[in-house]
Chains A and B, each alone.
Chain A
């Protein structure tokens, strides 16, 4: 009886191990994946996966990815795999040096229908891809293993939810391998990059619209209630350094360098804001380092001690803001700035 209990206890972890395994050890197909994109999943952005598969019997036939929420336009497998150049190499008239990723077509056809994306693999590829000791361009070989790219474009339906992908691959002998990814949280944020502003014209910014307006546009459309901050430039204000600044329409006039920039009959939104210098979001900046503002930064944002203006912006600076109606929190990142012109990018999070 005691022996039976031990056997029962032992069978539980063994059963768990077996159920977690994605590859059938007896199968002639193996697969694995990595999620290459490290940035937050924002609606409209592409999330890149690398899906690897190998056949010990026959060749690769097809790969399939089934998303838990159908991706947006552009979702699907890419046609190319990549290998690392070991030395100088010219492929399709493009010259690569050692260490470069060299694209090689391994997918004959890629289609996406709803949540299911399918890749039909090439029969043969350059032998160098399978065996790097073979000189590139000298011979072809059966495609028995490949790592291909799957791009998932985050759809509006996934906002604030989780998505996952079930990968599977099939060999020409009919053997199948599958891999279920974990769930990935989709951000509630919106993002818009490279918004041009000028200090004396296109300087009225609406966080709700994520765009800048001219004074004529604000007045003709009667949207002063949507203006959260105004971009100003003036080298000095009296004896003091001023430079590039954001002021809210309700800011004390002593901090507004251009007296008539905010007409008296406009709605005076009191936008709270706080400057940051070291928050160089890679999605807004468009380059390294891989540092990102995510939902949690807005969920924990406390601007209760902030003011409604910031003076002295330079490139790479930014500001956390909260709209006067409490509807949005935002981070405005300054991509570039010179005397009177500024390019900004924005991440916006809905608070209500």
Chain B
């Protein structure tokens, strides 16, 4: 009798745990899928090997035309830079930023909303002073 009650309590606990997890689904990257439909880049930064910005001033983000433009300092090795950005809450980006990359040509990144229903592809263009 005692074992049966214990088994029942454990079963209910496990079932409750599984049920409660189903309220917060996660995507293939292990990130929470929420109800947010907003989908945009809020800021963009580009770092050099010294872990400092290579941009002369803040990059310009156009959320209507989905473009980011910036100017890198004279002498920047634009073929070896590391981008990162800010996104609206719960959104994610593909491909992921944070790796060394050649930015001598415009690059495209896709922002995906928190509910994973909206996708917007941004074109990021960086020019270097003197080039």
Contacts and interface: CB of A to CB of B under 8 A. Distances in A.
Interface in A257-292: 274-278
A254 interface: yes
Interface of B: 48-52, 73-75, 77, 79-80, 100, 129-130
B46 to A, nearest CB: 15
Contact of B73 (A238, A240, A278): A240
B74 A277 contact: no
A163 interface: no
Nearest to B130: A240
Contact of B80 (A277, A306, A310): A306
A311 interface: yes
A310 B75 CA distance: 7
Interface of A: 237-242, 245, 254-255, 274-278, 305-307, 309-312, 317
Contact of B74 (A241, A274, A310): A241
A278 B51 contact: yes
Given A239-B129, A240-B129, A275-B49, 11 more contacts: A238-B130, A240-B74, A240-B75, A241-B73, A242-B74, A242-B75, A274-B50, A276-B49, A277-B52, A278-B51, A305-B79
Contacts of B130: 238, 240, 254
A277 B77 CA distance: 16
B75 A306 contact: no
B73 A275 contact: no
Given A240-B129, A240-B130, A254-B130, A306 B49 contact: yes
Contacts of A310: 75
Contacts of A317: 50
A41 B73 CA distance: 39
B79 A276 contact: no
Nearest to A245: B75
Given A240-B129, A275-B49, A305 B100 contact: yes
10 contacts: A239-B129, A240-B73, A240-B75, A240-B130, A241-B74, A305-B77, A306-B49, A307-B77, A310-B75, A311-B73
B75 A274 contact: no
Contacts of A237: 74
A309 B75 CA distance: 8
Given A254-B130, A305-B79, A311 B50 contact: no
A254 B129 CA distance: 12
Contacts of A238: 130
A311 B48 contact: no
B49 A312 contact: no
Contact of A255 (B75, B80, B100): B75
A254 B51 CA distance: 25
A132 B130 CA distance: 69
Contacts of A278: 50-51
Contacts of B49: 274-276, 306
Nearest to A309: B75
Nearest to A255: B75
A310 to B, nearest CB: 8
A275 B100 contact: no
Contacts of A309: 75
A307 B80 CA distance: 9
Residue among B74, B80, B100, B129 with the highest chain A CB neighbour number at 10 A? B74
Contacts of A275: 48-50
A274 B76 CA distance: 11
A309 B73 CA distance: 14
Nearest to B52: A277
A281 to B, nearest CB: 15
A274 to B, nearest CB: 5
Contacts of B48: 275
CB-CB nearest 4 A-B residue pairs: A240-B74, A311-B75, A305-B80, A277-B50
B79 A277 contact: no
